[in-house]
Amino acid sequence: MSELTEVIVGTKKGLFALEGDAGGAFEVTARAFAGEPVDYAARDPRTGRVLATMTSPFYGPKVFWADDPAGEWTEAAGVALPEDADAALKRIWLMVPGEEDGLVYAGGDPGVLFESRDGGESWTLNRALWEHPTRPKWEPGGGGLCLHSIVPWPGDPRRLAVAVSAAGVWLTEDGGESWERGNEGLVAGYAPEGAPPDEVGLCVHRLERAPSRPERVFMQFHGGVYRSDDAARTWTDIGDGLPSDFGFPIAVDPADADSAYVIPLTADVDRVTPDGRVRVYETRDAGATWSPRGDGLPERDAFLTVLRRAFAATGEGDRLGLYFGATSGEVFGSGDAGATWSTIAARLPPVYSVAVS
């Protein structure tokens, strides 16, 4: 009997846990935070603990943790900006396990990074990024000044890359004590001609690191798909062959540093799947070529929007599991690296995030 796959979905109206066989049928096994916008939720594979963040329109952003998504949730402490800040925390976008026991990172709006040393029960703000001298120039993207991507370096807790929309990529090699930009080669086609590179808003949509070759990082940009082979310092456009240079999420195969997956949307002014067809595009040669993967996905009259945290991968190689959700409430899954797909949930609230374990 195959092991069940768990997909945790954050939606506009709560958290849903789905369970099923990869490539087969799934069912809803838990719902939490009914009625509340759950921006992101995921299980920490090291401990089994589930972390979730919701932004109540009334009570503000909160992070909770639980061992069982159907059980009791406990609110985490310390998820707030300093009392003397000129703004309040607006939202937490994601939580990501770090490279030490108990270490977890959280990214949020306005462009902030939090760190937990106890598996997500309590958090402290990363002061170096908060007080970075360039911060007054940071501009928010359409989704706010969101720190939406955190990619640790396997085995080295000192090295970390994060991305902020629209303040670009930031790198640390000293555990967050200092930060430097990692934006060389990115082309902001929406910026005024001749704008100084460090002055423009660099609207990164998502980063993913190739764990088997950590210096390689893939990026979906506001206009373009990029690859870095020098630890996110310089970037090369690899978007040729895609139907569009616009999209939000990106996923990688942990076993193959040449493999990545994107879900193109028509354009920044038309953020739906092109031509009414839902297709995931795969590269197996680090972006030199791209191939559509859509067997089992809607082929006509399907104009879906897939947000930046609504695409996740599990496993590797031919058994790579890929799962993504749309703002129209569908969640799709593949248990064979995108070769075939099935609809694992059809009528959820608008999907904000997908995580899989």
Partner 1 sequence: MATVRLRGQLKQLAGDEAEHEHDGATVTDVLRELEEAHPAVRGWVLDERGRIRPHINVFVNGERGREDTALEAHARLEIIPAISGG
Q: Where on the chain is the footprint of partner 1 (CB under 8 A)?
A: 57-60, 62, 75, 79-85, 88-89
| Residue 42 three-state SS | strand
Torsion 271-275-281-286 (CA) sign: negative
What's the DSSP call for residue 326? -
Output Rg (C-alpha) for the chain, integer angstroms. 19
Least separation in angstroms between residue 29's CB and partner 1 is 24
Query: Which CB, 55 or 149, lies closer to partner 1?
Result: 55
Query: Which CB, 79 or 103, lies closer to partner 1?
Result: 79
Least separation in angstroms between residue 55's CB and partner 1 is 11
CB hemisphere CA count around 323 (13 angstroms):
30
Least separation in angstroms between residue 35's CB and partner 1 is 8
Query: Which CB, 57 or 136, lies closer to partner 1?
Result: 57
Least separation in angstroms between residue 24's CB and partner 1 is 34
Query: Which CB, 54 or 232, lies closer to partner 1?
Result: 54
Least separation in angstroms between residue 60's CB and partner 1 is 6
Least separation in angstroms between residue 13's CB and partner 1 is 10
Query: Which CB, 75 or 230, lies closer to partner 1?
Result: 75
| Residue 259 three-state SS | strand
Q: What are phi and psi of 223, to 5 degrees?
A: -145, 90
Element (H, E) at 65: strand 60-66
Torsion 238-206-308-101 (CA) sign: positive
Cα(270)–Cα(280) distance, integer angstroms: 17
Query: Which CB, 79 or 164, lies closer to partner 1?
Result: 79
User: What type of residue sits at position 66?
Assistant: A
Contact present, 323 and 315 (Cβ < 8 Å): no
